Amino acid sequence: MKSNIEYLIREPKIKKEKNPLLLLLHGYGSNEEDLFSFAAELPDEYYVVSARAPYNLNPYGHAWYAINFDADENKFSDIDQAKESRDIIAKLINELISELPIDFQNVTLIGFSQGTILSYAVALSYPEKVKNVIALSGHINTDLLVPGYEKNDFRHLNMFISHGTVDQVIPVEWARKAPDLLKKLGIEATYKEYPIGHGVSPQNFYDFRNWLENLQ
């Protein structure tokens, strides 16, 4: 079964026999053009693919899973949809590797907000598919991980995590839990905070790009 995900692609400017992949996963209510806007600034040797989330929102935008509100304005995530999206992204990685000359051992996920929640879910559930995660303005939702994920081999996995200290959408306290959880799994993570809300500042962008380049 195919993922049926739509995406934008930037070919690597430096072609190798096999090139690494950067897969961009946008946030709730956005689309594939959002993160793709900084594709030109990403390292030249990567395929850059920006995926569109599968669920349409009215009047516009897309989501990886629904977020519903009750009468008291409490938010509830559709966990079944989120798990489905986790597996759709895993399928998309397989498809891209089979269709393009991509180094299957060098796949990086860059997520924002809901895209970060899914990036964590894919990497921790299927670490054989992912080498690096750049987790922007999100958090780890353990409800989205495959049962028994703790037994996975995470030795090759690297993570860069960043969050705004005045994020009004996902509290910074949620993001701060990630490094400890990852450490228990044996995953080293770089964690940074910025004096911003729910977004990516220029300094944040340069920091994660430099981190990525220093991994090579």
Q: At what angle do helices 79-99 and 114-125 cross, to 10 degrees?
A: 70
Pairing of strands 158-164, 62-63: unpaired
Predicted confidence band at 59 (pLDDT cuts at 50, 70, 90)?
Answer: confident
Q: Are 67 and 106 contacting, i.e. CB atoms less than 8 angstroms apart?
A: no
Specify the pLDDT at position 128. Answer: 97
Q: Which residue has the higher pLDDT, 12 or 73?
A: 12
The one-letter code for the residue type at 100 is L
Specify the pLDDT at position 204. Answer: 96
pTM of the model: 0.95
| Region of 202 on the Ramachandran plot (φ > 0 left; ψ -120 to 50 alpha; else beta) | alpha
Chain-wide mean pLDDT for the chain?
93
Burial of 206 (0-12, 13-18, 19+ CB in 10 A): exposed
Pairing of strands 102-112, 75-77: unpaired
Question: What is the strand order of the sheet 7-10 is part of?
Answer: 7-10, 47-51, 19-25, 102-112, 132-136, 158-164, 188-194
The pLDDT tens digits of the residues spanning 151-189 come to 999 999 999 999 999 999 999 999 999 999 999 999 989
Distances (CA, A) of 160 to 56, 142, 204, 211: 29, 18, 11, 8
Residue 185 per-residue DSSP state: T
Find the angle CA(140)-CA(141)-CA(143) to the nearest 5 degrees: 150
Specify the pLDDT at position 4. Answer: 84
- Cα distance between residue 195 and residue 33, in whole Å: 25
The pLDDT tens digits of the residues spanning 87-102 come to 999 999 999 999 999 9
Average pLDDT over residues 75-84: 86
Say yes or no to pLDDT of 123 above 80: yes
Say yes or no to pLDDT of 74 above 90: no
The percent of residues in the chain predicted with pLDDT above 90, rounded, is 89
Pairing of strands 102-112, 19-25: parallel
Say yes or no to pLDDT of 50 above 70: yes
Specify the pLDDT at position 70. Answer: 57
Say yes or no to pLDDT of 72 above 70: no
- Cα distance between residue 30 and residue 52, in whole Å: 9
End-to-end CA distance of the chain: 33
Tokens of 125: 């559930």
Specify the pLDDT at position 215. Answer: 86
Find the angle CA(101)-CA(112)-CA(51) to the nearest 5 degrees: 40
Find the angle CA(49)-CA(181)-CA(173) to the nearest 5 degrees: 85
The class of domain 7-215 in CATH terms is alpha beta
Pairing of strands 19-25, 47-51: parallel
